[in-house]
Amino acid sequence: MPMSRAARNAFLTVFLAVTAVVLPASPGLAAKGSGGLGLPLPSPITSPNMKKIIPLAKRELSRNVAERRGNNVPRYRNGKGRIAPYSIRDQWCAAFSTWIWNRAGFKSYLGAKILWKSFDGTTVAVQVRDLTNWAKREGYFSYQAKPGYLVAYGSTHIGIVEKIDRKSKQAVGSIEGNLRDRVTRVTVPMERVTGYISPIRLTEPQLEKSALYADMPVPDKVLEEITRP
C-alpha cells in the first residue's frame, strides 16, 4: 500500500537520524540543511580525467561557435569560419556535450541507443531522452550535480555542469551547445532540471545519497524506495 506523504516524511526523518548514527560523518562533507546529522555526501569521483571536461568546454566557449542563420551547422568565428568538429547538421546540444566527454576520455555514453558520427568522425549521442534513459538504466543518473556531469532539463536540451549554487539552492551553471544557435554559458534553475548524468557509473549508495541531497526535484516514489526498511 503506498505510503502517504506525511508518513513518508516522518519515516524519512527517522531514517536519516538512524543513518547518522550508523554512518560516521566525513570531515568537510556534512550536508547543508541536514540538521547537523552529518550524513556523508556521495564520494567524489576520483578519475583525473574529470578535471579535463570543464577546460575543454570553456575552450569551445571561447571560440565563439555559432550557426549561420540557424542552419544547425556550428562554425568557429561566429559562423564564418570552419565547421565545428561536433557538428551533426542537426540539433547538436547532446552532440556537443558528449563530444567534450569523448575528448576528456569518457565514452560510457556509447551505451546509449542513438549514436551518430559528428563532422570529425567522433561517435556522439544526439538525443536527450535517449541519453537520460541510458543513464537511468545503467546507473549513471544522479539527482545531484557535479562539475563535468551533464545536466538535462526537459526532454530536448542538455549541457555540461560548470558550477553549482548550493548556497541558494536555486541554480546550476552550464556550458551548452545549440542554445540560441551557439555555444554559450547559461544558468538553469534547479526546479527545471530533469536529471544529471555522470560519465562514470555510480554505486548504489551514491545513487541513494544523491536523491537525499538532491539539486533537483525528486519523485516521491524514488524517496519511498530508498527509505523502505
Does one domain contain both 28 and 69? no
pLDDT given at position 61: 98
Q: Are 187 and 179 in contact (CB under 8 A)?
A: no
Q: How many domains does the chain have?
A: 2
Does one domain contain both 89 and 189? yes
Query: What percent of the chain has pLDDT above 90?
Result: 67
In CATH, what number is assigned to the domain containing residue 162?
3.90.1720
Domain of residue 212 covers: 42-226
Does one domain contain both 28 and 50? no
pLDDT given at position 165: 87
Task: Indicate if the pLDDT at residue 39 is higher than 50.
Answer: no
pTM of the full predicted structure?
A: 0.80
Does one domain contain both 93 and 167? yes
Task: Say which residue the cell 548504489 belongs to.
Answer: 204
Task: State the distance between the two ends of the chain, measured CA to CA, in whole angstroms.
Answer: 14
Query: For 134-143, what is each residue's pLDDT tens digit?
Result: 999 999 999 9
Q: How is 8-77 classified by DSSP, letter by letter? A: HHHHHHHHHHHHHHHSPPPTT-BPTTSTT--PBPPPPP--TTHHHHHHHHHHHHHTT-B-STT-S--BHH
Q: Average pLDDT, stretch 27-42?
A: 35
Does one domain contain both 97 and 17? no
Does one domain contain both 167 and 128? yes
Does one domain contain both 218 and 115? yes
Query: For 153-192, what is each residue's pLDDT tens digit?
Result: 987 899 999 999 887 767 899 999 999 999 999 999 998 9
pLDDT given at position 169: 63
Does one domain contain both 139 and 53? yes
Q: Are 150 and 160 in contact (CB under 8 A)?
A: yes
Average model confidence (pLDDT) for the chain? 83
- Which of 9-13, 16-20, 61-65 tops mean pLDDT? 61-65
pLDDT given at position 46: 56
Task: Indicate if the pLDDT at residue 19 is higher than 90.
Answer: no
